[in-house]
Amino acid sequence: MFIEQAFRGKTDFWRYLIGSLIIAIVASIGQLPLLFAVLLKSGFDPMALQADRLMQTLDKNLTTFFILISFAIGFIGLWIALKFLHEINLKTITTTRKKVDWKRVLLGFSLVGIFTSVSVLVSYQMTPENYIWNFKPDKFLILFVMAIVLVPIQTSLEEFIFRGYLMQGFGVLAKNRWFPLIMTSLIFGLLHIANPEVGKMGYSILIFYIGTGLFLGIITLMDEGTELALGFHAANNLIAILLVTADWTAFQSESVLIDIADPSVTWDTFLPLIILYPIYFIIMAKVYKWKNWKEKLTGKIQVPVSERNQSI
């Protein structure tokens, strides 16, 4: 079982607290190149570091690069936590299978990639006045290469932390599955509170982020691995960077389209939670023959005999 794999290493909960702190510190260090570049470009004007100016000081491609590279640096923090605090490897928080199932990654990627791309194109055809055609071949080619390489690193780090590391950590603490599912979903959603989307659309948009975290957590527990979530998250962010962005989103890249509509939270904001995610559940459950939903999502964590004996 996925959460029980944590017992292959050291599972004292204080290790997860310190590990999370290490990851956060290293990830923060990863943001220093962006801050330094902004200061250098602005003549070391501290006002340039304000949220409303930070994303407008540098070239969009350069800004995107610095944002994404910070996650690559953040991987160092995760590696330190796994190797030196828990004495496990990355595969332990990735999957229960003998090796990563790339077909599962591809399925997760394809589902969100196809649905989201089609929905964006339909929206563009129906309401072209809400978009600006921004395709610039030279800049887009740079963005495309950069995104293909770095976006999967960014999204994989988030999945390894939330659906892997913290899912196992809270599971070890609570000895059940529902608590880590709820906690990782809440933390994942609330950490988006600093995103410019929240400032523009209000706190109610956090429901979408928490719901997405819940969806990713459920498919991880049901499938006994993070592969589907890895593919899903990578496709979602790739489309967000390459196909359509806006001046109020976390990524403001040289995408094909720029959304200029005034954003607001309406009933259709939550359509993915109500319609698309259940469809994804049905497809994945059919393909991989998921069973025992109640046990896998709310059941107890069985501590291995060796671990119980060691604690005694």
pLDDT at 261: 87
Q: Which residues contact 154 (CB under 8 A, 6 or more apart)?
A: 68, 71, 72, 237
Burial class (CB in 10 A: 0-12, 13-18, 19+), 47: exposed
How many domains does the chain contain in total?
Answer: 1
pLDDT at 308: 46
Is 311 inside a domain boundary?
no
Is 46 inside a domain boundary?
yes
pLDDT at 309: 37
Domain that holds residue 137: 3-304
**Global pTM value:** 0.93
**Tens digits of per-residue pLDDT, 23-35?**
999 999 999 998 8
pLDDT at 133: 95
Per-block mean pLDDT, blocks of 10 residues, the chain (312 long)? 94 97 96 89 76 73 92 96 97 96 97 91 92 95 96 97 98 97 97 86 91 97 98 95 88 90 80 92 96 95 64 36
**Tens digits of per-residue pLDDT, 68-123?**
999 999 999 999 999 999 999 999 999 999 999 999 999 999 999 999 899 999 99
pLDDT at 74: 95
Is 145 inside a domain boundary?
yes
Cβ distance 162 to 188 under 8 Å? yes
Is 309 inside a domain boundary?
no
Q: Which residues contact 206 (CB under 8 A, 6 or more apart)?
A: 189, 190, 192, 193, 198
Is 59 inside a domain boundary?
yes
Q: Which residues contact 208 (CB under 8 A, 6 or more apart)?
A: 269, 270, 272, 273
Q: Phi, psi at residue 176, to the nearest 5°?
A: -145, 180
Is 312 inside a domain boundary?
no
CA angle 213, 265, 124 (to 5 degrees): 95
pLDDT at 57: 75
Q: Of 61, 59, 71, 58, which Cα lies nearest the Cα of 31?
A: 71
Is 268 inside a domain boundary?
yes
Is 272 inside a domain boundary?
yes
